[in-house]
């Protein structure tokens, strides 16, 4: 096999809580993650020659060397298995960048899966996740995909059944927010509100959409909503346009709304697209394999 095609799906945080800031500076989180239908296309080709990893992407501003998590994933496996060949990664980015949708981690995960297949390395999903965590706390989740409760610094996964069927509208506004900035400015030990993540997990197990949407919450909004009015504006607009609930995903800046009705969702999608409030606007749904 000389060519492999992977899909790197983005995620949303249906619920995101921060329990505390640890002494080592990391934050202990408790989040419900859901993969969505939006994905980056990742084509990986191998060819004979001296070891080299090249990345080609439709977003010219993205790093193509060590700075790209996809490069680091390929490099890690090629070094470990002594692979001396050329690997070319063609990346078609659809997932908004610096948007709380784990785009970089998803690409990284797709390259782990793809290189494993391309060179018949025989690594299990678990083997890949153990390597992936060294490149980012979200990478093990992105390797597994689907619906999961993520704890620890995000790397401790409990697989959940798929979240109840719904439509999702994603709006990435014209601002980028760095994850580092949000966590540095979060007053983790002074939070007065914590979303009911345990209740949300129960609601998912009971396939109860409103049980999930009633409990949607993201404590990182305490940082971003103070700083960027557009986050609140987008949440309000999505709800006004019929969303059962709307919150920010991860550390932002993407805001998403959950819809229980396809027609309402389509109408809201068209409205949001025409409003000019988003740089990227998507309509999608939860994605779970098989």
8 vs 241 by CB, closer to ligand ATP: 8
Query: Does residue 146 touch ligand ATP according to CB under 6 A?
Result: no
Q: Is residue 62 near ligand ATP by the rule CB under 6 A?
A: yes
* DSSP 3-state of 131: helix
Contact pick of 76, 102, 133, 234 for ligand ATP (by CB under 6 A)? 102
Q: Which range in 46-54, 99-107, 234-242, 258-266 contacts ligand ATP by CB under 6 A?
A: 99-107
Do the Cβ atoms of 9 and 39 come closer than 8 Å? yes
**Catalytic: 11?**
yes
Find the shortest distance in angstroms from Cβ 62 to ligand ATP.
6
C-beta of residue 39 within 8 angstroms of C-beta of residue 8: yes
Strand partners, 75: none
Residues in 245-274 that interact with ligand ATP by CB under 6 A: 250-251
User: Which H or E run includes 264?
Assistant: helix 262-275
Per the CB < 8 A criterion, the answer to whether 31 and 11 are in contact is no
Q: Is position 92 annotated as part of the catalytic site?
A: no
Structure tokens at 184: 């540095």
Told to check if 100 binds ligand ATP by CB under 6 A, we report yes
* CA distances (Å), origin 52, targets 20, 70, 134, 183: 42, 13, 22, 35
35 binds ligand ATP (CB under 6 A): no
- Provide the annotated active-site residues: 11, 138
**Residues of the shown chain interacting with ligand ATP in the complex, contacts defined by CB under 6 A:** 62-63, 67-70, 97-105, 107, 138, 179, 250-251
């Amino acid at each position: 096999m000389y060519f492999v095609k992977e899909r790197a799906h983005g995620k949303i945080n249906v619920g995101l809580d921060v329990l505390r800031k640890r002494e080592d500076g990391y934050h202990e989180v408790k989040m419900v993650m859901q993969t969505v239908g939006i994905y980056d296309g990742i084509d990986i080709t191998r060819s004979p020659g001296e070891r080299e990893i090249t990345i080609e992407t439709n977003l010219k501003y993205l790093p193509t060397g060590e700075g790209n998590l996809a490069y680091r994933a390929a490099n890690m496996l090629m070094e470990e298995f002594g692979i001396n060949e050329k690997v070319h990664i063609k990346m078609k980015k659809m997932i908004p960048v610096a948007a709380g949708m784990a785009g970089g981690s998803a690409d990284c995960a797709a390259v782990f899966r793809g290189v494993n297949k391309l060179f018949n390395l025989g690594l299990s999903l678990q083997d890949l996740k153990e390597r992936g965590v060294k490149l980012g706390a979200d990478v093990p989740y992105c390797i597994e995909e689907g619906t999961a409760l993520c704890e620890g610094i995000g790397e401790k996964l409990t697989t959940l059944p798929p979240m109840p069927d719904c439509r999702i509208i994603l709006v990435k506004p014209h601002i980028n927010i760095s994850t580092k900035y949000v966590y540095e400015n979060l007053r983790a030990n002074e939070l007065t509100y914590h979303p009911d993540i345990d209740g949300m997990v129960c609601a998912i197990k009971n396939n109860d959409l409103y049980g999930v949407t009633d409990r949607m919450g993201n404590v990182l909004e305490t940082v971003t909503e103070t700083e960027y009015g557009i986050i609140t504006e987008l949440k309000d607009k999505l709800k006004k346009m019929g969303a059962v609930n709307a919150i920010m995903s991860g550390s932002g800046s993407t805001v998403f709304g959950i819809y229980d009705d396809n027609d309402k969702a389509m109408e809201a999608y068209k409205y949001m697209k025409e409003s000019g409030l988003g740089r990227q606007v998507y309509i999608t749904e939860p994605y779970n394999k098989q």
